């Protein structure tokens, strides 16, 4: 059983003027979220990840607590339960601690993302795909099931162990590599798609990553990045998960949309697609970015 992480100190209280300003802003955001939830047709609600918008409301409520009573934040509400608040951990350590529970706790919560990713990628049979930050194989295994030749990379040996177990159960030929995305030796491998989901948020900058991946793209290849929307992260959407009564946060970085553009441009690539979704919500939760070689205009 892992040692209990040290708890972080609560932030100092805000001035009365700042409290008033912050609470008025957050109250407006809460009302917007509630209005959006009321307006989603029941048929559409069934297509959304369970409780996703309600979670957003919960995070905004916590922001209000942070303003009014910073000392109350020794606890964190998630998924209808209350957990002790753990300190943020580095990705290798954090994902190592949650690997055994990852699929059980988070399974089914990313249906919206998965549907869009497969729509954008289209036919995969015979394609070579690099899955950066492949984790437990959430995308690597479905890619392989659709006929792709998949190489998965992850810095957590524990997450990779789960991916190997799942792949062996289905007899899928996955190549799984233990290593940091910025340091792993890819040799002269080239891919039709370099894909990453919920991983680039752990990189301090996007431009070095995109530049490093470009030499491994085949002619006409593309980079597809899927992550939480930066504005949703700023509003309090956490990176981590609850384990044994403690919410274990994993250290991450927020990348504004403009940074994706800059990373593509610096690598001599261009934007092919930018999707912020779901579009009908007050605040989109996801961003999907597709980058590729410039298309010649005749």
Cis peptide before 67 (omega within 30 of 0): no
Q: In terms of domains, do 138 and 256 share one?
A: yes
**CA distance to 117, 192, 237, per residue, from 123 (Å):** 12, 12, 32
Q: In terms of domains, do 72 and 118 share one?
A: no
Q: In terms of domains, do 62 and 168 share one?
A: no
Last residue of a domain, one of 54, 85, 116: 85
Q: What is the number of domains present in the chain?
A: 2
State which residues form the domain around 22: 16-85
Query: Max CA-CA distance within the chain?
Result: 63
Within-domain flag for 7: no
39-73: pLDDT as tens digits: 666 665 555 544 455 555 555 555 555 555 444 44
pTM > 0.85: no
125 CB-near residues (< 8 Å, 6+ apart): 146, 147, 148
Around Cβ 100, how many Cβ atoms within 10 Å? Answer: 15
Around Cβ 173, how many Cβ atoms within 10 Å? Answer: 8
What gap in Å lies between CA 179 and CA 92, rounded to an integer?
Answer: 10
246-291: pLDDT as tens digits: 777 888 899 999 999 999 999 999 999 999 988 777 678 899 999 9
Q: In terms of domains, do 41 and 107 share one?
A: no
Q: In terms of domains, do 237 and 200 share one?
A: yes
Within-domain flag for 11: no
């Amino acid at each position: 059983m892992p040692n209990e992480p040290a708890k972080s100190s609560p932030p100092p209280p805000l001035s009365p003027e700042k409290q008033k300003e912050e609470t008025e802003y957050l109250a407006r955001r809460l009302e917007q979220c509630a209005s959006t939830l009321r307006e989603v047709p029941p048929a559409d609600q069934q297509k959304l990840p369970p409780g996703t918008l309600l979670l957003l409301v919960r995070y905004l409520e916590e922001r209000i607590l942070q303003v009014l009573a910073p000392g109350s934040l020794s606890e964190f509400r998630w998924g209808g339960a209350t957990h002790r608040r753990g300190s943020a951990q580095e990705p290798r350590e954090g994902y190592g601690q949650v690997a055994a529970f990852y699929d059980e706790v988070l399974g089914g919560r990313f249906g919206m993302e998965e549907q869009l990713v497969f729509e954008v990628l289209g036919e995969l049979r015979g394609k070579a795909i690099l899955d950066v930050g492949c984790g437990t194989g959430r995308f690597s295994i479905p890619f392989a099931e659709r006929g792709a030749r998949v190489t998965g990379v992850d810095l957590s040996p524990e997450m990779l162990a789960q991916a190997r177990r799942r792949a062996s159960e289905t007899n899928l030929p996955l190549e799984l590599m233990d290593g940091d995305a910025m340091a792993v030796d890819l040799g002269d491998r080239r891919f039709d798609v370099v894909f990453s989901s919920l991983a680039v948020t752990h990189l301090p900058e996007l431009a070095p990553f995109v530049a490093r991946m470009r030499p491994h793209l085949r002619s006409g290849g593309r980079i597809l990045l899927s992550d939480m929307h930066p504005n949703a992260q700023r509003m309090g959407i956490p990176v981590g998960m609850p384990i044994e009564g403690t919410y274990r946060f994993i250290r991450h970085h927020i990348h504004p949309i403009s940074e994706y553009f800059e990373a593509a441009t610096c690598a001599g690539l261009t934007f092919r697609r930018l999707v912020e979704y779901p579009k009908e919500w007050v605040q989109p939760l996801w961003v999907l970015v597709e980058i590729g070689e410039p298309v010649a205009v005749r």
